[in-house]
Structure 1
Amino acid sequence: MKRKISALFILSLISMLLLSACGGSGGQGNKKSDTVVIGVYGGDWEKHIKPSIEGFEKDTGLKVKVVSGTDSEWLTKLKASNGQNAPYDLLILQPDSIQRAQSAGLLQPIDQKKVPNIKDLYHSVQKRFTVDGKQYAAGFSMGQLGIAYRKDLVPQEPKRWTDLWNSSYQGHVAVSSPTYSAGLQFFAGLINAQGGLESNKKDVDKAFNSLADLKKNVTAYPDNPGSIQTLLERGDAWVVPFWDGRAYSLEDAGLDVGFAYPEEGAVAALASWAGLLQQFKMG
C-alpha cells in the first residue's frame, strides 16, 4: 500500500532538514547566521511552500529566504563556488541533478539521527540517493511528465509523445531543452516511445535526430515553468511537455488546459530536498 505523505509530515521534514542538513550559511561562508537560504521552483511551488516556511520561522526564530530558480541555474552556481560559500543552504532538485551534485562533492549527507522522518519516505526512492550507506536527498514529491495542451485551441487532443510532430500543431509546440528537467524527462520519454534505451547510443542519436525534425513545429524552448505557463496563457503554445501537477494547477486557475498521459508512458518525476556541503551555524 502506498503511504500518503501529509502536509504536517512535509513541514516536519523541512524543519528537520533545515536544522540539521542546511549545507551553507546563506552565502556567508562559516560566519554565524540566523538566515537560511532555500531554493525552490517558482509559481505554485513557491506559493504552497510558504505556510511551511512561516511555521518553521515561528518555531525556531530563524529567518528563511526563499529563492526561486531551476536546477541548471543552481548547479551552475554550486559548481562555480566549488562547495564553498554557496548562495544556498537547501535546494529542491531533480534526481539527475542530485546525482551530479553528489558526484561533484557538493552535497552533505543527511544525518538520519537528526532527521528520523526520512525512514518514512519511499525506500525504493531513497535507495537512488544512497551512496556508501549515506543518503544525500529526501524525495518528497512525485508526479508525472506528460503533455499539457490548450483544449480550446488544438485541432485534436494529443495522445502520444509522437503526436507533437503532427503538422496540425505546426508553430505551436513548446519543448524545453535537456538542460531543463522537463526537457530532459521529455527526451527520456521520446527514447522510450521509439522503443529505445537511454543506455544505447544509437537510440539516443535517433531521438536527437527526431528533435531536429520537430523544429518546424516549435514556437519556443522554455527553460522554466513560468515561461511555459505564459506560452500556454497567450496561446503561443498549444501543446508542451509539462508536469501533471503544474497543468492541473493552471486548470484550477481557470485556463482551458487539458493534460494527457501519453500512451507510450508518462515519465516519472521526483522532487527532493538536498542540503549543501558547508555547515550552517546558528548565531
Structure 2
Amino acid sequence: MTTLSRRRFLGAAAGSVALAAPTVLRAQARELVMIGYGSAQDDPLKRAGEILAKKYPGVSLRIIGGLSAEAIAQIKASRGASPYDFAVMGSPAIINAVDEGVLEPLDIAKVPNAKNIDARFMPYAYGMGVPISYAGIGIAYNKQMVPNPPKTWAGLWKPEYAGKIGVSRPQSNLGLACVSIAASAFGKTDADTDFGLAKWKELKPLVGRNPNLLQQMLERGEIGLCPLWHDNTGIAIASGLPLGYAKVTGPGPLILPTMIVKFTRTAHSDLIHEFADILLTSESQTFAAQPPYYFGTTVKGVVAPAGAAAFLPSTPEEIASMVSVDWPKVAPNRGKIVEAFDRMFAG
C-alpha cells in the first residue's frame, strides 16, 4: 500500500453489459462525450457540463456510463476515430490507458484551479490529468444479514461471514484493489496478487461482474457484505435500503483518487480543460461532497459535511493514515489477474 503523502512521488508511466460506443455523429463538433459512472454519481459532472454550456451556447455534454477498461479497448479498435473525448478515471485505469497510448496529458497551466489541489493527490494522476475527487473502499453490508461487520480487512475471513461474501471482478478498479487488499491484509505486498487471489478463493465469494452489479446483489440479499465504493453505498443508504458501511483498516482507510483525463485526438481540448477547472472550484467541490454522494474532495479548504464521516477519513489520525494501492506494481498485470480470477471462479 502507498501512503497519500505530500512527499510521495509515483513514476508516470476499468456496466452490467459491455460498454456500447456512442453512435454520436462527430459532425456535432460542440458535443463532448465522456466516460462517467452511469449513475447518480454523474450529477456533479452534469452540473459542470451545464455551467460550461451556459458560457458557450451550443456546447453539450454526453456522459456514457461504463468501465474504463472497456472504453480503452474501444478507442484502440477505433484506430484514431475515438467515440470519446475524455473521462473520469482512477489511477489503475490511467496506467493501463497510458500503456495503450490512448491518453494525452492535460496542460495544468490551462486549469488555473489546479493550484488549489491538495498536493498529496497529484501523484496519483501520473502526469495525465487532475484529481477531482476520491472514493473510499470499505465494506458495505446488509444490516439484516450482518449485524456486526468486520473492522479490519482480515476480519472478512472470520467464519461468521462464510457464505455471505461477494466481490467484484478485477476488470474493475474495485475488484483489482480487492486482490491487493487480500495480500496486504495478511502481511504480503500489494504486488503479490497470486497470494491475494488464493485468499479470495478461500472465501468462495459470489462474483459481481462490476461494482454496480455487486451492489445489486447486496441490495437483493444475495450476499451479506462485500468491498464497495463508499459513494455507491452512501447513495443506496440514502434511498432507504437497510445497508451500512464499515471504514475498515489493515490496510486503510483505503482510497482511490479520480482524475479528469482526455483521450488522444479529441477536438475539444480547450473545453475539457475548462470543464476540469469548473470541477475544481470550491462550489463544485462542495456540491460533490454533499449527500448522497459524499465524494472526497481534493481541493484545500473545502469542509466536508458532518455525514461524510461515516464514509470517509475524517479525524486527523484517519486522514494521516489514508493509503492507496501501489498501482504501478499492480495495474500493468490487470489482464493476467483477470484471467486467473476468471479461471478460479468460473461457473
TM-score > 0.5 by shorter chain: yes
Q: Which has the higher contact order (CA 8 A, sep 6+)?
A: 1
**Structure 1 partner of 2:167:** 175
Q: Which deviations, in whole Å up to 9, do the C-alpha atoms of 1:32-89 show, x marking residues without a partner?
A: 712110110122212343222222222212011111111222222123235x111110
Shift of 1:103: 2.8
**Residues 1:253 and 2:239 aligned together:** yes
**Structure 2 partner of 1:19:** none
Which of 192, 202, 225 is the equivalent residue of 2:211? 225
Q: Which deviations, in whole Å up to 9, do the C-alpha atoms of 1:199-258 show, x marking residues without a partner?
A: 4xxx3322221122122xx23x22333312311221112101011222122212211111
1:155/1:64 CA distance change after superposition, 3 Å: closer
**Structure 1 partner of 2:229:** 243
Tell me which amino acid in the other structure corresponds to 1:143: A
Shift of 1:129: 3.0
SS in 1 for 2:208: coil
Contact 2:35 2:66 in 1 (8 A): yes
Aligned equivalents of 1:27, 1:101: Cα separation in 2: 22
**Structure 2 partner of 1:64:** 61
- Which deviates the most, 165-174 or 87-96? 165-174
Aligned equivalents of 2:261, 2:24: Cα separation in 1: 16
Cα RMSD of the aligned pairs, angstroms, is 2.5
Q: How does 1:3-152 map to 2 (within 5 A)?
A: 33-61=29-57, 62-82=59-79, 84-130=80-126, 135-152=127-144
**Structure 2 partner of 1:163:** 155
Percent sequence identity over matched residues?
26
Tell me which amino acid in the other structure corresponds to 1:172: K
1:223/1:121 CA distance change after superposition, 3 Å: farther
Contact 2:182 2:200 in 1 (8 A): no
Superposition TM-score, scaled by structure 1 size: 0.79
SS in 2 for 1:124: coil
Structure 2 unpaired stretches of 5+: 1-21, 271-347
1:166/1:192 CA distance change after superposition, 3 Å: same
Aligned equivalents of 2:215, 2:88: Cα separation in 1: 20
**Structure 1 partner of 2:199:** 210
- Which deviates the most, 155-164 or 257-266? 155-164
SS in 2 for 1:66: strand
> In the comparison of the two structures, how many residue pairs are matched?
247
Structure 1 unpaired stretches of 5+: 1-24
Aligned equivalents of 2:104, 2:65: Cα separation in 1: 21
**Structure 2 partner of 1:234:** 220
SS in 1 for 2:168: coil
Aligned equivalents of 1:209, 1:39: Cα separation in 2: 33
